[in-house]
Amino acid sequence: MNINSKLVKFASQELVLARSATERSKIDNSLSHLERVLKNALGNEIQSFVRFGSYTRNTILPRKYDSKSDVDLMIVFNTSRGLLATNTYRNNLSRVIGSTYPNSISKKDFPVVKLELNHIMFDLVPAYVQNSFWNNGYRYYIPDKYNGWRETFPNDINGELSRKNQSYGNNTIREVIRLCKHWNASAGYPLESYVMEKDIINLVFWGNEDTYSRFLKTLNSIAGNKAGVRQALEHIQKYKGDYWTAPNYEKQLFWLKKLLPGMN
């Protein structure tokens, strides 16, 4: 098996959280149960739920490879009787979660309320929505760091990711994103995950490149000199060989594993 095949197998199997119907069903069931719990407790205070983030894009990693992996759920509150303070909504969420999941870890981590179950972490984000001529008729707002509100755009990159992933074929963009997210987690999270995904989606790939080449070029573009990336990339390039020198696959793989711990 060549290096590209190894990398594709790692990205499409080991780094896929929900690669089995059973695993995806387990998370979806937990999400549905969580929504029912919140709706039963808060009733008409809740207007709707919006699932968003890497889980909806299928770029979320197993927690084995990313301890910060989580599923994002926006709880849109009903503001027909007026908008309340951000802390009021967060406290209501925290109260319900704490009483329903007493054996789990639930805590406030501004601006979200975190719920950690055995198989996944949930980030619960309070929000409200306004009707608008733009943004498909809706504008969403979540808490900002000043206890006010800021506009947000849930799932804004999902469509572009799907379009480019289909355009390049072979699920390449999702594979590159997963590989870069694994590197980022292994390096201590020097890059913010959502911003990194967005930057990768905006990159241009040549149609005839394999996942190995695209990953190296992408990491070179987004990571720069962070966490030993430059040294590893230089060694990988050195051992890829040229017109006079045959490639050394073992040494390429050695330096690739420096970037991606756990890859076999």
- pTM for this model (two decimals): 0.90
pLDDT digits (tens, 9 = 90+) for 172-210: 899 999 999 999 999 999 999 999 999 999 987 776 788
Q: Which residue has the tokens 């059973």?
A: 22
Q: Which helix (H) or strand (E) holds 236?
A: helix 229-239
Provide the Cα torsion 210, 216, 217, 222; round to 10°.
140
pLDDT digits (tens, 9 = 90+) for 58-117: 999 988 899 888 999 999 999 999 999 999 999 999 999 989 988 776 766 777 899 988
Domain borders along the chain are: 18-152, 158-259
Q: Rounded to whole angstroms, how far apart are CA atoms 44 and 154?
A: 22
Q: Rounded to whole angstroms, how far apart are CA atoms 73 and 52?
A: 6
| 89-125 core/surface letters (b: 16 or more CB in 10 A; e: else) | bbebbbebbeebbeeeebebeebbbbbebeebbbbbb
CATH fold for the domain made of 18-152: Beta Polymerase; domain 2 (3.30.460)
pLDDT digits (tens, 9 = 90+) for 13-45: 999 976 666 777 888 888 999 999 999 999 999
